[in-house]
Structure 1
Amino acid sequence: MTPAAFSASSSGPASFSLYPELDATTLGAFVTALETGDVTGLAPARAADVADVRSVAVFGRAKVPGADGDLLDAALWRHTGSGPRPVIVMPSPWTSLGWLVYAVQASIFAARGYNVLAYTARGFAASEGMVDVAGPLDIADGSRALEYVVGRTAGPVTKVGFLGDSYGSGISQLVAAHDTRVDAVAALSTWGDLGEAFYENSTRHLAAVEALLAAAAKARLSPQTQAVFENVLANRDVEGTLRWAEPRSPFTHIKELNRRQVPVFFAQAWHETLFPGNQTLRMFNELTGPKRIDLSIGDHSGPEMSGMLGLPNRIWTDAHRWFDHHLKDVDNAIAEEGQVLSEVMWNQTLEARPAWSAVTRDVRRLFLTGDGELAPDPEAGWSAGVLCGVDTPATVADAVVTGGLAELAGRPKAYPTGDIDRTVAAVWASAPGEEVTRLRGIPRLRVTYRAANPGSTFVAYLFDVGPDGTAHIITHAPYTDLDSAPDSLISADLDLQATGYDVPRGHRVALVVDGRDPFYGDANLPRATLAFTSPEATPSYVDLPLG
């Protein structure tokens, strides 16, 4: 499925799931086994999960009274003993599967001593109400869900954790910021600043919004939610959208999380196409309490998806360890392992660092030159033209979310750099590396360009190019200028999305800049041109973070 499948001009959103590997029938069979004890047809490991949880806890479906009297569809795993226990509440992702996606993991948590409530966010599946996109009603729902499970525990509640994936991860952070009863959070494939996720460097994330609409095709969006999404697609009322996004951004409420020193665990994919990773890293870096972030190969929810099926998965393993440590006081060494664990593309090596500031050890600055090189010395007086309105082989990915599944399988998209038309894209490449180049952190680009018309957009990509010209994407970022006068020089300074990438010996690092990518809206007029250059006083360069 390509971004065009979510075109705003179509008669309605295409059928789409952010969780393509999850099957409602299989998960439903697991839940039926939880209810009946009959494990016929289940895989042996899942049958063992059912037996484990049924031996210590009671499973049941529930209707949780949410805000405004709306009932939320839920499931409760409850221990009958009167001893003290911690509680975990799990708000659902952005999917018509609702709480069902958590059935296996919630059972594992329950078998290990937690009382667990998983619920479907309002407006989705069998929950009443309308989708509020992590707004005040969703925050109130989270507190009501906590009250519901606390009121049904047989013994005292010791501590409380909120865990969510995707949509549920944002809700979990926001509930923790507003409800002082929450002691720890696990936020998988999450966001920190929703406004930045929708408008990165003033550039609309069209494909992301189209994908969210398509994945919510069976949901009941509130009129405000529908209007905001349509405004992003139609390029209307940007300020209104940002005002709407502000209270829905955990970053807005970070002072409250820091005041209480709430432990927060993040998991994020390097090639996240819904919620770009830098805004989550900004949230992570501003947290002052216990924190950890796992960074993985793949795209939105992909790295943790196998764990939802019950398969071995390091993201879910760390989430369990996080809660065991912070909710059950288990000394499992997770606090001593460092705040950052990252999986290197594409060798899958895991690297632990004490903090994000320790990920980058040095910076290599390469300057853009007139002959298409990334060189150690600046060069002024050249110009490289880009014709706008024409797509190029340089794109973010083949599809939102699902392109990351190939990366997880070790088959990242191959880009034929020889097919990039130099009239519609500007290309600069480094000399072949004499050793492995270990890119770790946030690459930064400074470039000057002239736009003939008011309003301009470009997308910058870093590629790893092999000796045969085949490339793999390292990272990218869009940039839009809406304020400069026509035919003026524009200085663009932008962070590309964070990366952990090993460029093999003999490969080149290439910077490609073009004026159109189907993942983004652009402000360029059709057939307009962008002329990139490098003034002597402010040379154009890319900073490569080295580990």
Structure 2
Amino acid sequence: MRVRAGFCVAAVLAAGLVATPATAAAATEPQYDFAGAIRETVWVDIGRDGDGDGVTDRVAADIVRPAEPAASGGKVPVIMDASPYYSSVGRGNETEFKTYDDQGRPVGFPLYYDNYFVPRGYAVVLVDLAGTNRSTGCVDVGGKSDVTSAKTVIDWLNGRATAYSAKSGGSAVSADWSTGNVGMIGKSYDGTIANGVAATGVDGLKTIVPISAISSWYDYYRSDGATFGFDPDGLAQTVENRNGGQDCSAQNKKLADGATQNGDYGPLWAERDYAAQAKNVHASVFVSHGVNDLNVKTINFGQWWDGLAAAGVQRKIWLSQTGHVDPFDYRRTEWVDTLHRWFDHYLLDIDNGIEKEPVATVEREPDQWADQPAYPAKDASETTLNLQAGSTPGIGTLGTGAGSGTASFTDRAKTGEDAWAANPSETSADRVLYSTGALSSPVQVSGTSSVTVTATPSTDSARLSAMLVDYGPAKIRNFSAGGEGITTGSDETCWGENATGDDACYKTTSADIADVDYTIVSRGWADLANHQSLSEESPLTPGTPYSMTFRLASTDHVVPAGHRLALVIGGTDIDFITPPANLPKLSLDLAKTSVRIPLAGAVPAGPRADRLPAGPLAHVAGRASGDLR
């Protein structure tokens, strides 16, 4: 790894030379004095009154930009991170917060974006969403207030909105230093807002870099009718700034009322469904996500990616083996270099060829990366695998041959995926398991799978859980540990210039590796009562069969030769979803139950299923999370 430590300014350009396409080559190297950069705050009027105080809300935008172009009337593009976390839970692996001097001027900007990019001719703008940190109004967890908070700042940077020098009153401030070209970036909630703003089609937003980001808030809190047990009003109360005097109780009640506990997809979720609005996106999109992210489940990047493809959006994607982790903390040098070229191309119009490079980069083993020309993989095709009963109850065959037989399990709401997968050759009262034989050649699962289940419940309510499992030894990132696949060290590397109160240096990280006997490739959950519609439950009649298709999480995973691919189906996975009111026994019609997988490679029609290893197996335990950071 090439380690960069404390870049020095090579030269301060003469007055008149600015970071524009005409002098684009200069933007690829540090040329401006970071310590002397302009630091300021403006408050942008977003035209909404979220806290109902009779005054339109203003969001605080903290800005750091090079002084040299400003002195000569030059203009620079903007890298923006809009977040609710700058004074609540912090940003990055080292939990950084914004800081200010005794006059309220911004000093410390979390993360390295300002340290690295301002010397290279960019402005960095960190926006407090309405209702957070120094902004007025109320956060609405991905709704119109959140999205408008960032969109209106882009409008201001393009001369279409008004900003002021103070939180109330003050004088109007123009962004005459901005080219109007904006790139949004951020992890988790921040990247989610980037998705939401891009889905408005706002003019001036040239690119977004969503990291571990949500594309549909429904799929953060719910899954095909099933609920994860946490709700948006709780997140709102975590991040709202109560020191400004605003009363957000009315907004929080709207969140609580709109997020119905029955798991139905309603108007609140439709407003926050950016994937459904992907046709409006004009900006390029560089996605990063961990395939083991159990916080922002990977269905979020998969459906967003597919929607962007349908809209013809230029895209790039990195998929790691980590959980909810920023690529700066698992592949630092390559990430910063790639991000730098991405912003140079889309914000400064530099012809550096990045748009012609491989579309997808996937981590196959810890720190072992492979490029692909496309995601999903070009040779992956939708393959239906069927279930055949075996001689052991609840254990059978997964293959391309016709399905047959029946099986049953009881939802006790006491166990979850690891207990279900750990003894694959044994009957379990809680789940059923169907497996290929040992594969003669590797197969690649690349894209978003789905399961169709025909089940007869013994009660009037039922949940379903399903997962794809790769049985065989592997080294993987230990995504269930505290670092979600990384270990943080004590040494530091520096990524840009330092200034008083604004450090560019960050602790190094390394892969946290675990040896396992099986890998859960993809997961999904559903409420059988939503078999007809996600928008409205249908009553279940005990003893009546119901068919339902639900999604498994998006991924890209190679099952090596000699391993087995299995489908596991159970009731309530207690590690993730809430149980039904009346726990049922569920009987499956295997002839009408199948899994549809985007698969590259061949799976036999009907291998023997009794070759699975006996006894408990080692695995990294998964975990759900309601902590969106």
| Alignment-derived partner of residue 546 in structure 1 | 600
CA contact under 8 A between 2:224 and 2:263: conserved in structure 1? no
Answering whether residue 78 of structure 2 is matched by residue 87 of structure 1, we say: yes
Give the letter for the 1:264 counterpart.
V
| Alignment-derived partner of residue 558 in structure 2 | 502
Q: For the residues of structure 1 that align with 2:576 and 2:258, how far apart are their CA atoms?
A: 11
| Alignment-derived partner of residue 368 in structure 2 | 348
Answering whether residue 470 of structure 2 is matched by residue 464 of structure 1, we say: yes
| Alignment-derived partner of residue 186 in structure 1 | 209
Deviation, 1:50, is: 9.6
Answering whether residue 90 of structure 2 is matched by residue 97 of structure 1, we say: yes
Deviation, 1:62, is: 2.1
Deviation, 1:527, is: 4.3
Once the two structures are superposed, the pairs formed by residues 109-128 of structure 1 within 5 Å of their partners are: 109-128=117-136
Q: For the residues of structure 2 that align with 1:235 and 1:267, how far apart are their CA atoms?
A: 31
CA contact under 8 A between 2:258 and 2:268: conserved in structure 1? no
What secondary structure, in the 3-state scheme, does the structure 2 residue paired with 1:322 have? helix
Deviation, 1:313, is: 5.0
Among 222, 236, 243, the residue aligned to 2:267: 243
The number of residues matched between the two structures is 476
Give the letter for the 2:279 counterpart.
K
| Alignment-derived partner of residue 139 in structure 2 | 131
Q: For the residues of structure 2 that align with 1:486 and 1:324, how far apart are their CA atoms?
A: 61
Deviation, 1:394, is: 1.3
TM-score (norm 1): 0.75
| Alignment-derived partner of residue 157 in structure 1 | 179
Q: CA 1:285 to 1:378, structure 2 compared with 1: closer, same or farther past 3 Å?
A: closer
Give the letter for the 1:247 counterpart.
E
Deviation, 1:424, is: 1.2
Q: For the residues of structure 2 that align with 1:202 and 1:345, how far apart are their CA atoms?
A: 34
Give the letter for the 1:272 counterpart.
D
Q: CA 1:320 to 1:518, structure 2 compared with 1: closer, same or farther past 3 Å?
A: farther
Give the letter for the 1:431 counterpart.
G
Q: CA 1:207 to 1:436, structure 2 compared with 1: closer, same or farther past 3 Å?
A: farther
Residue ranges of structure 1 left out of the alignment (5+ in a row): 1-43, 397-413
Further displaced range: 328-337 or 96-105: 96-105
Answering whether residue 227 of structure 2 is matched by residue 204 of structure 1, we say: yes
Deviation, 1:361, is: 4.7
CA contact under 8 A between 1:78 and 1:110: conserved in structure 2? yes
Q: For the residues of structure 2 that align with 1:221 and 1:516, how far apart are their CA atoms?
A: 38
Deviation, 1:493, is: 2.3
| Alignment-derived partner of residue 335 in structure 1 | 355
CA RMSD of aligned residues (A): 3.7
Deviation, 1:87, is: 1.8
Q: CA 1:208 to 1:374, structure 2 compared with 1: closer, same or farther past 3 Å?
A: farther
Larger fraction in helix: 1
Deviation, 1:209, is: 5.9
Q: For the residues of structure 1 that align with 2:299 and 2:202, how far apart are their CA atoms?
A: 26
CA contact under 8 A between 1:433 and 1:505: conserved in structure 2? yes
Q: CA 1:264 to 1:222, structure 2 compared with 1: closer, same or farther past 3 Å?
A: farther
Larger radius of gyration: 2
Give the letter for the 1:500 counterpart.
D
Q: For the residues of structure 2 that align with 1:370 and 1:415, how far apart are their CA atoms?
A: 17
Deviation, 1:168, is: 1.9
Deviation, 1:460, is: 0.5
| Alignment-derived partner of residue 486 in structure 1 | 542
TM-score (norm 2): 0.66
CA contact under 8 A between 1:448 and 1:540: conserved in structure 2? no
CA contact under 8 A between 2:44 and 2:152: conserved in structure 1? yes
Q: For the residues of structure 2 that align with 1:373 and 1:211, how far apart are their CA atoms?
A: 43
Answering whether residue 473 of structure 2 is matched by residue 473 of structure 1, we say: no
Q: CA 1:474 to 1:232, structure 2 compared with 1: closer, same or farther past 3 Å?
A: farther
Deviations 1:481-508 (A, max 9, x none): 1124321112232331122222233322
CA contact under 8 A between 1:49 and 1:107: conserved in structure 2? no
Q: CA 1:370 to 1:446, structure 2 compared with 1: closer, same or farther past 3 Å?
A: farther
Answering whether residue 44 of structure 2 is matched by residue 65 of structure 1, we say: yes
Q: CA 1:211 to 1:268, structure 2 compared with 1: closer, same or farther past 3 Å?
A: farther
What secondary structure, in the 3-state scheme, does the structure 1 residue paired with 2:65 have? strand
CA contact under 8 A between 1:64 and 1:148: conserved in structure 2? no
| Alignment-derived partner of residue 191 in structure 2 | 169
Q: Percentage identity across aligned positions?
A: 18
Deviation, 1:114, is: 0.7
Q: For the residues of structure 2 that align with 1:156 and 1:218, how far apart are their CA atoms?
A: 29
Give the letter for the 1:296 counterpart.
S
Further displaced range: 47-56 or 243-252: 47-56
| Alignment-derived partner of residue 252 in structure 2 | 226
CA contact under 8 A between 2:219 and 2:300: conserved in structure 1? yes
Q: For the residues of structure 2 that align with 1:502 and 1:58, how far apart are their CA atoms?
A: 48
What secondary structure, in the 3-state scheme, does the structure 1 residue paired with 2:215 have? coil
| Alignment-derived partner of residue 21 in structure 2 | none
Deviation, 1:441, is: 2.4
Deviation, 1:271, is: 2.4
Q: CA 1:361 to 1:183, structure 2 compared with 1: closer, same or farther past 3 Å?
A: same
Deviation, 1:459, is: 0.7
Q: For the residues of structure 1 that align with 2:433 and 2:256, how far apart are their CA atoms?
A: 35
Deviation, 1:297, is: 1.6
Q: For the residues of structure 1 that align with 2:154 and 2:593, how far apart are their CA atoms?
A: 55
| Alignment-derived partner of residue 484 in structure 2 | none
Give the letter for the 1:62 counterpart.
T
CA contact under 8 A between 1:122 and 1:128: conserved in structure 2? yes
CA contact under 8 A between 1:207 and 1:520: conserved in structure 2? no
Q: For the residues of structure 2 that align with 1:142 and 1:173, how far apart are their CA atoms?
A: 11
Among 318, 325, 336, the residue aligned to 1:294: 318
Residue ranges of structure 2 left out of the alignment (5+ in a row): 11-29, 50-55, 92-96, 99-108, 159-172, 475-515, 530-537, 602-629
Among 273, 276, 287, the residue aligned to 2:294: 273
Q: For the residues of structure 2 that align with 1:237 and 1:496, how far apart are their CA atoms?
A: 17
| Alignment-derived partner of residue 411 in structure 1 | none
Further displaced range: 217-226 or 419-428: 217-226
Give the letter for the 1:125 counterpart.
N
Among 386, 394, 410, the residue aligned to 2:409: 386
What secondary structure, in the 3-state scheme, does the structure 2 residue paired with 1:103 have? coil
Q: CA 1:232 to 1:465, structure 2 compared with 1: closer, same or farther past 3 Å?
A: farther
What secondary structure, in the 3-state scheme, does the structure 2 residue paired with 1:349 have? strand
Q: CA 1:395 to 1:229, structure 2 compared with 1: closer, same or farther past 3 Å?
A: farther
Q: CA 1:518 to 1:222, structure 2 compared with 1: closer, same or farther past 3 Å?
A: farther
Give the letter for the 1:91 counterpart.
A
Q: CA 1:209 to 1:517, structure 2 compared with 1: closer, same or farther past 3 Å?
A: farther
What secondary structure, in the 3-state scheme, does the structure 2 residue paired with 1:83 have? coil
Deviations 1:422-475 (A, max 9, x none): 011112222122333332223332332211122211110112223799322111
Q: For the residues of structure 2 that align with 1:232 and 1:503, how far apart are their CA atoms?
A: 41
| Alignment-derived partner of residue 620 in structure 2 | none
Deviation, 1:336, is: 0.9
Deviation, 1:476, is: 0.9
Deviations 1:494-533 (A, max 9, x none): 3311222222333222222221223443453444211122
Once the two structures are superposed, the pairs formed by residues 285-324 of structure 1 within 5 Å of their partners are: 285-287=306-308, 288-300=312-324, 302-304=325-327, 306=329, 312=332, 314-324=334-344
Deviations 1:255-308 (A, max 9, x none): 332xxx3222222221232333234322322222322222222223x043528x
Tell me which of the two structures has the higher relative contact order, counting C-alpha pairs closer than 8 angstroms and 6 or more residues apart: 2
Deviations 1:8-51 (A, max 9, x none): xxxxxxxxxxxxxxxxxxxxxxxxxxxxxxxxxxxx96744899
Among 38, 58, 64, the residue aligned to 1:77: 64
Deviation, 1:218, is: 7.5
Give the letter for the 2:79 counterpart.
I
CA contact under 8 A between 1:393 and 1:419: conserved in structure 2? no
CA contact under 8 A between 2:415 and 2:575: conserved in structure 1? no
What secondary structure, in the 3-state scheme, does the structure 1 residue paired with 2:322 have? coil
Answering whether residue 268 of structure 2 is matched by residue 284 of structure 1, we say: no
